[in-house]
Structure 1
Amino acid sequence: MVDARSAARLTLLLALAALLLLLAPLPFSGGVEARAAAVVLPAGRALRDLTRPASELLLNAGQVRSLSAENAALRRSVARLEAEAAALREANVATAQVSALLQSAGADFSRYRAAAVVAVDPAPGRRTIVVDRGSGDGVASGQAVLGPGATLVGVVSSVETHRARVRLLSDPDSAVAAVVQQSRVQAVLAGGGDRLRLDFVPVDAAVHKGDLVLSSALGGRLPGGLVVGRVSAVTSRAQDLFAKVAVEPLTDYARLEQVLILVDAALPAAGATGADDSGGDSTGGPTR
């Protein structure tokens, strides 16, 4: 801002200018004008230099406000575009996952409903998920749920109009009929954490590490021959009636994002091995 000294200089300049106007008609005014100009011009330049920063500051302030508004608009546009790009990438990932699931399930796509996992049961020890398909899509309790590679990952336990809850095979309350492919030994596949186990396997049964475990037809409620996992360990003692058989799932249940629900189980299931009397799933097995 212009202080008192600057105001005094301005007043002096105005007085000199008025004096020059009054003396202009006189014959000796030329010399006076020259001497006055010698005084006024430097003072005028000093005043101009003094006031220039203030004027430039006002001009720059307007430009800064304009640039700030433009930058804010650009940031909003960039954020919106990034969100749209992320959504598009997620849609592409989901499409690729569903496509892979359908390809592994076989050509008869009408038997299945693709569903996205929308929630996971947070309760300790529980292994259930919620998917975005329900009774309005033909989903019903007891239907098989498949994961990558057409592997059996769970069974529909309850249904709403547009949602369904799936009990994974690893849930402590899960128990389905199963068969060891190589030896045809029937057993009950039970959950209980990250690994599965086969219950009621005779201690002398020919079950070995690496054997493939499938669903069994003994329950009759689900199609047979669905791949579940591989035997990862077999332990027993001489006095035991049943061996302890651990099964490693072929699918990481914690990473499920898209699944297939088998809504029509009238035909042989995808991934069936063609066994004579094996290949089914049962939700009516022992439940703990």
Structure 2
Amino acid sequence: MKKKGLLRLLGLFILVFFFVQLFLVPKRYINSEIVQALQAPRFFLNGFSRQNDLINSIKNLEKENLSLRLEVLRLEDKVNDEHQGYIFTNVFSKYPYNDNDRLVIDAGLNDGVVTGMTVNFQPGVFLGEVVSALENRAEVRTIFDPGWELPVRIGEDGVDALLIGGHQPRLTLISKSKEIKVDDRVYVADKEFVYGLTIGFIDRVLIDDKEVFYSAKIRIPYQRSEIKEVFILRNE
């Protein structure tokens, strides 16, 4: 009998609990709890969406930063609107191929273009050199040529390095006794070209304890698909 009494008391307690939940607890509270539970997957997916938006925003800011740095370089080069000191010409398309190690340009001997001239993507930004010239055409070898090696320097301290051309140009033979960092400017130091022309910026320093030297990846301040015109530096 005592056991049955306890069971009845427990049953009565459960009924009272449900009664309170249904009639005394505000429905707004119950609904909000249910709605939040149902909306949890949507909040989870929105979190991923916000993360992707943040990543895209960072990439856009990096592109804008490179564009601003290119503009600063152009202004520092002090070239007027007539591109004084340069031969400005178009680059012939190789579409649909994305082969930029060698370019054919719409200027040649008749325009004053000769072998050995320095070719810039824009004033102050080094791209390559003229390797052959005809009357109305010329061929340009660029930093994207896998067979090209070029002495360069890095940053304000002028740390020496060797540029290795290719689809993604890179730096090697950087002394471990020197300090370089991301965003340091990489510029031409070869005696065959104008000293100090910008090639790009340090993107990542590669450290290998087994190697005698550092190496580094370069961030080129333009897209290869943007190479549609070039500035050929006139010989003085």
User: What's the TM-score once normalised by structure 1's chain length?
Assistant: 0.51
- Give, as a single letter, the amino acid of the residue that structure 1 aligns with 2:218: V
**CA deviation string 1:139-198 (max 9, x = no partner):** 1122111113531112112111111111111111222221112221112212121x2211
- Give, as a single letter, the amino acid of the residue that structure 1 aligns with 2:163: L
Cα RMSD (Å): 2.6
User: Does the 8 A contact of 1:117 with 1:129 survive in 2?
Assistant: yes
Q: Which residue of 2 aligns with 1:182?
A: 156
User: Does the 8 A contact of 2:122 with 2:230 survive in 1?
Assistant: yes
Paired residue secondary structure (1:223): coil
Q: Which residue of 1 aligns with 2:119?
A: 145
Structure with bigger helix share is 1
Q: Which residue of 1 aligns with 2:128?
A: 154
- For the residues of structure 2 that align with 1:182 and 1:102, how far apart are their CA atoms? 19
Q: Which residue of 1 aligns with 2:183?
A: 210
- For the residues of structure 2 that align with 1:225 and 1:156, how far apart are their CA atoms? 19
Q: 1:115 aligns with which of 76, 89, 101?
A: 89
**CA deviation string 1:113-145 (max 9, x = no partner):** 011011339888661111101111111122111
Count of residue correspondences: 162
User: Does the 8 A contact of 1:127 with 1:168 survive in 2?
Assistant: yes
Q: Which residue of 1 aligns with 2:103?
A: 129
Q: What pairs with 1:57-72 in structure 2 (closer than 5 Å)?
A: none
Question: Are 1:234 and 2:205 matched, yes or no?
Answer: yes
User: What's the TM-score once normalised by structure 2's chain length?
Assistant: 0.61
Structure number with bigger Rg: 1
Cα shift at 1:233 = 0.7
Q: 2:214 aligns with which of 243, 256, 260?
A: 243
**CA deviation string 1:185-214 (max 9, x = no partner):** 112212121x22112111332111110011
Q: 1:106 aligns with which of 74, 79, 82?
A: 79
Cα shift at 1:257 = 1.2
Question: Are 1:164 and 2:135 matched, yes or no?
Answer: no
Paired residue secondary structure (2:93): strand
Q: What pairs with 1:267-286 in structure 2 (closer than 5 Å)?
A: none
- For the residues of structure 2 that align with 1:177 and 1:248, how far apart are their CA atoms? 17
Q: 2:147 aligns with which of 134, 149, 173?
A: 173
Give the 4+ runs in structure 1 shifted more than 3 A: 101-105, 107-110, 119-126
User: Does the 8 A contact of 1:203 with 1:240 survive in 2?
Assistant: no
Q: Percent identity?
A: 23
Q: Which runs of 5+ in 1 are unaligned?
A: 1-100, 267-288
Q: Which runs of 5+ in 2 are unaligned?
A: 1-72
- For the residues of structure 1 that align with 2:99 and 2:224, how far apart are their CA atoms? 14
- Give, as a single letter, the amino acid of the residue that structure 2 aligns with 1:206: E
Per the alignment, do residues 172 and 161 of structure 1 end up closer, same or farther by CA in structure 2, a change over 3 Å counting?
Answer: same
- For the residues of structure 1 that align with 2:182 and 2:83, how far apart are their CA atoms? 34
- For the residues of structure 1 that align with 2:138 and 2:159, how far apart are their CA atoms? 33
User: Does the 8 A contact of 1:135 with 1:159 survive in 2?
Assistant: yes
